[in-house]
Amino acid sequence: MLVKYIGETPIYFDSEYHSMRMSASTSFPNKYIFGEDVGYKITPFTYPGDLTLKAGDSVVTLLDKIRTTLGNYEFYYDVWGHFVFQ
């Protein structure tokens, strides 16, 4: 999961990303401000949100929602008529 910095005060990290501080320093050259990507959080591989549909929605709507959110997935029927979601 992508993590964004949402603090009001910029944060500074040292060149090795071992230490941080809230004020500028020559030994802390990496600066992050509000809204910038600051890293990733390891999470279980699950759908990251609400996966509910409206009455009458199809299975294709559900699969499209998963594909769009998680990315790099596709679904189709192969030449033998087998459904493939990969």
Please spell the DSSP secondary structure of 9-74, one letter per residue: S-EEE-TTSS-EESS-BTTB-EEE-TT-EEEE----SS--S-----TT--HHHHHHHHHHHH-S--
Kindly state whether residues 35 and 70 are assigned to the same domain: no
Kindly state whether residues 24 and 58 are assigned to the same domain: no
Which residues neighbour 80 within 8 Å (Cβ) at sequence distance 6 or greater? none
Total domains, the chain: 2
Kindly state whether residues 51 and 84 are assigned to the same domain: yes
For the stretch 19-49, pLDDT in tens is 888 888 778 898 999 999 888 888 777 778 8
Domain hosting 84: range is 47-86
Kindly state whether residues 69 and 52 are assigned to the same domain: yes
Kindly state whether residues 54 and 71 are assigned to the same domain: yes
Kindly state whether residues 54 and 86 are assigned to the same domain: yes
User: Any bridge partners for residue 80, and if so which?
Assistant: none
pTM for this model (two decimals): 0.46
- Name residue 22's amino acid: M
